[in-house]
Structure 1
Amino acid sequence: MKSLKEILKSLEGLSDIELFVIDLFCGAGGLSEGVEEARLNGKRCVKVVCCVNHDKNAILSHDANIPDALHFIEDIRTLELSPINIIVERIRQLYPDVMVMLHASLECTNFSKAKGDQPHDADSRTLAEHLFRYIDVIDPDYIQIENVEEFMSWGDMDKNGKPISMDKGRLYQKWVRNVKKYGYNFEHRILNAADYGAYTTRKRFFGIFAQKGLPIVFPEPTHCKGGRQDMFTKLEKWKPVKEVLDFSDESTSIFREKPLAEKTLERIYAGLIKFVAGGKDAFLIKYNSMNKAGKYQASGIDEPCPVVSTQNRLGVAQVCFLSKQFSGHLESKNVSVEEPAGVITYGLKPLGCSLDCVTRTGKRFTRGIL
């Protein structure tokens, strides 16, 4: 990783840059990569200069991709800010008309509905409060926040770590008001990645604070579910995740060795009913996932996939078995491809499918690979 002196030297000769970015919670570098790829009239226009994350491996990955930035393996709550202040002052000295943005992809686990009924970490939910000292030191032109939608429900919790429903959103509204007191205007949107050509329906809250007089602009969607074309709008269909899945590579899961749980098999069965019975040969399966009604909805591969979280709960199910259209009772008409095919007669018409769960009139048994 480069030193502060080296970073200050690298700031010279960047007259085309119009926005310099400080990336808190930078992770392995997704946001920073997008920033570095931004172009205006064909020219690079944005540069990441400081990156903060408490995880060493994430920072090492980030540094490999964004080497001309100052990296900190540190908690944002305890980071000493003088090096960042020195960089910002040098930027404003070299380029008086450029803008500086503070971006924070705040930790979302203890806001997300994926947390379920588990207790929420109260301290984690206050990370946004620690941005004020960065605002005091940096005085950014823009502050951009990214989080799950439930961030807007930030409120008090009871003694068991459960959000108090009647207090929903109180602390979020208070926090927004306190940031605006620094002289910022504020707008937010809930954006769906699939609406912008991604292969996932990941929905996230994006909030932008801008100093008075500066514009706040959100991107216009390029896609929508089902597509749309009329006098005023032309939107492409959401991209199907099957375009980026390799169905020929069955491999072996790196996440599990033990047999699938009964509930997982039930989800696979639900997918078989919804998709295979409907003429599809593959679908997506999520482990340990139910909706509020206690039911499971399998996802198709002709639409963007759901959010891929760090919990490794998403897999592809591809169905393969042999089906006899004639002869024998119902129990014997479907045969796993992991077993002998039986006598091939002129009446056998095999139907292809691959999955560790196939059904024999509702009964399940595991075979193959998921």
Structure 2
Amino acid sequence: MEYTDKKSDTKYIETNTVQIPDGKFPVVSLFSGAGGLDIGLEGAGFRTTVCVEFDTDCRETLRHNRPEWLLFETSAKVVSGKITTRIPGDIRDIEVKELLDLANLKKGEASLVVGGAPCQPFSNIGKKLGKEDEKNGDLFLEFVRMVKGVDPKAFIFENVAGITQQKHSEVIDYMVDNFKGLGYGISHTILNAANYGVPQRRERFFLIGIKGVEKPSFPIPTHFKDKNHYQKFMESIGRKPENKFEKWVSVKDAFDKIPKDHVLRNDYALMNISEKVINRMKYINQGENFKVVPQDLLPNCWKNGKHQGNDTFGRLVEGLPSVTIRTAAYNPSKGMYIHPNQNRGLSTTEMATLQSFPYDWEFKVKSRDKVTLVSGGKQIGNAVPPGLAEALGKSILTQLQPTKSKSVEKLDQRFALNSPQTHHQQQLEVS
């Protein structure tokens, strides 16, 4: 059943009755990061065949947790008959055919191409240079290039909500125009992860395209702040509210499920806090920040009134989903990241939990047994919450024809004859 929001004109679709298939819907994953988007799609019934990721530590995390997800790490490339070298995982230097060959796919066989180009150029935190960012501002063009070459049945492009600002409008317009020219029906909106059972109020931009669907739908929210929030949404889509609904998952709900021995994990890390900083925390109740701390205990940069952040050095509210978990959420001075009941910051395990990563997902660092705060924070904070990704995946699967065609059956046979391990070995021999 599909519904349309009268105010935003966004279409929503129910997915609670979707039958999860057997994972034979192949995905080409770009800008894979630590795997959040791919984990969620896996839960929806998709199968990640190949990943492109620039960050070395993220690739170690993917390799450790899902060795069957092939990583494009080939450093050798033949140009005009000569062998040259390239940076492993640099999408700018990867040809579509190379990626399809590794995934054992032909053009048009992939169900999905997914990914979120690095979001810093469009974030509300930072310089907001957008496509003018010399380092990463043009990577959305690589996503468009890959979709053109892979020719999937559908795609998901993800980024920060800041990309919708007027100054970045030509980026969205460019992608929409190009994808429509390829025959995709296009929709884009901002989704709040808390509305899909993630214990975090995180808003992200999603642009989706599906062939044969004029205006694709997004997943109808499953969780709400309260009864009023639920009723207003139902009224906006013209649906009669029912008597029961799921409430947002809170920080306390999430933390209560973390095993007590999580501190023994190799990917557990916690920021060391000085006694001076701990003393400041003692004055802060849930939902409050540094502004309630006595002036004589504050650093000078917080005394002059120039720092106006409303969540800086704030304490989480345990009865609500957390604020957005960013890459430095382990550091209380970077946001509302003081533990709700203890005078400390958040551990990497708690950050991952608030991002809805499954507990058995382990974050790795190249050539180290223990994860570092910086690498762990970066991998977790940059990820798409798997819970949100799963909801989105189910909505797309609902709009794709879930019945197997003869071409899909042939594809299944090829997967059986050509195992991921075989392709991984071939890749190692070339690199």
Quickly name the TM-score band, shorter chain normalised: 0.5 to 0.7
Q: Please state whether the residue corresponding to 2:270 is helix, strand or coil.
A: coil
Q: Which residue of 1 aligns with 2:198?
A: 198
Shift of 1:144: 0.6
Inter-CA distance 199–181: structure 2 relative to 1 (3 Å threshold)? same
Instruction: Indicate which of 256, 264, 267 corresponds to 2:272.
Output: 256
Inter-CA distance 216–87: structure 2 relative to 1 (3 Å threshold)? farther
Contact 1:21-1:103 within 8 A present in 2 as well:
yes
Instruction: Indicate which of 241, 244, 260 corresponds to 1:232.
Output: 241
**Is residue 2:137 matched to residue 1:125?**
yes
Shift of 1:140: 1.6
1:204-223 correspondence to structure 2 within 5 Å:
204-213=204-213, 216-223=216-223
Q: Please state whether the residue corresponding to 2:285 is helix, strand or coil.
A: helix
Q: How many residues align?
A: 270
Tell me how far apart the structure 2 counterparts of residues 102 and 273 of structure 1 sit (CA, whole Å): 39
Tell me how far apart the structure 2 counterparts of residues 261 and 65 of structure 1 sit (CA, whole Å): 36
Contact 1:227-1:236 within 8 A present in 2 as well:
no
Contact 2:194-2:249 within 8 A present in 1 as well:
yes
Instruction: Indicate which of 315, 331, 339 corresponds to 1:316.
Output: 339
Q: Which residue of 2 aligns with 1:303?
A: 320
Tell me how far apart the structure 2 counterparts of residues 179 and 299 of structure 1 sit (CA, whole Å): 41
Contact 1:59-1:72 within 8 A present in 2 as well:
no
Q: Which residue of 1 aligns with 2:120?
A: 109
Instruction: Indicate which of 237, 252, 256 corresponds to 1:242.
Output: 252
Q: Which residue of 1 aligns with 2:101?
A: 86
**Is residue 2:33 matched to residue 1:27?**
yes
Q: Please state whether the residue corresponding to 1:140 is helix, strand or coil.
A: coil
Tell me how far apart the structure 2 counterparts of residues 84 and 141 of structure 1 sit (CA, whole Å): 17
Tell me how far apart the structure 1 counterparts of residues 196 and 326 of structure 2 sit (CA, whole Å): 19
User: What amino acid sits opposite 1:237 in the alignment?
Assistant: K
Contact 1:238-1:304 within 8 A present in 2 as well:
yes
Q: TM-score, normalised by structure 1?
A: 0.61
Shift of 1:70: 1.9
- Report the aligned-residue RMSD: 3.8
Task: Give deviations 1:42-93, integer Å, cap 9, x for gaps.
Answer: xxx421101010122211221222222321241111123323222567467x
User: What amino acid sits opposite 2:140 in the alignment?
Assistant: A
Q: TM-score, normalised by structure 2?
A: 0.53
Q: Please state whether the residue corresponding to 1:35 is helix, strand or coil.
A: helix
Q: Which has the higher helix share?
A: 2
Long gaps (5+) in structure 1:
1-14, 39-44, 155-166, 276-287, 319-353, 357-370
Long gaps (5+) in structure 2:
1-20, 74-88, 232-239, 290-301, 332-336, 345-431
Tell me how far apart the structure 2 counterparts of residues 308 and 257 of structure 1 sit (CA, whole Å): 19
Inter-CA distance 129–203: structure 2 relative to 1 (3 Å threshold)? same
Q: Please state whether the residue corresponding to 1:113 is helix, strand or coil.
A: coil
Tell me how far apart the structure 2 counterparts of residues 20 and 121 of structure 1 sit (CA, whole Å): 32
Tell me how far apart the structure 2 counterparts of residues 253 and 16 of structure 1 sit (CA, whole Å): 36
User: What amino acid sits opposite 1:304 in the alignment?
Assistant: P
Shift of 1:235: 2.6
Q: Which has the higher strand share?
A: 1
Tell me how far apart the structure 1 counterparts of residues 34 and 57 of structure 2 sit (CA, whole Å): 8
Contact 2:316-2:339 within 8 A present in 1 as well:
no
Greater Rg over alpha carbons, structure: 1
Q: Which residue of 2 aligns with 1:328?
A: none
Q: Please state whether the residue corresponding to 1:50 is helix, strand or coil.
A: strand
Contact 1:227-1:238 within 8 A present in 2 as well:
no
User: What amino acid sits opposite 2:318 in the alignment?
Assistant: I
Deviates more, 1:20-29 or 1:236-245: 236-245
Tell me how far apart the structure 1 counterparts of residues 66 and 148 of structure 2 sit (CA, whole Å): 26
Tell me how far apart the structure 1 counterparts of residues 100 and 287 of structure 2 sit (CA, whole Å): 59
Inter-CA distance 168–29: structure 2 relative to 1 (3 Å threshold)? closer
Inter-CA distance 272–29: structure 2 relative to 1 (3 Å threshold)? closer
1:269-288 correspondence to structure 2 within 5 Å:
269=283, 271=285
Tell me how far apart the structure 1 counterparts of residues 22 and 286 of structure 2 sit (CA, whole Å): 54
Deviates more, 1:130-139 or 1:189-198: 130-139
Q: Please state whether the residue corresponding to 1:216 is helix, strand or coil.
A: coil
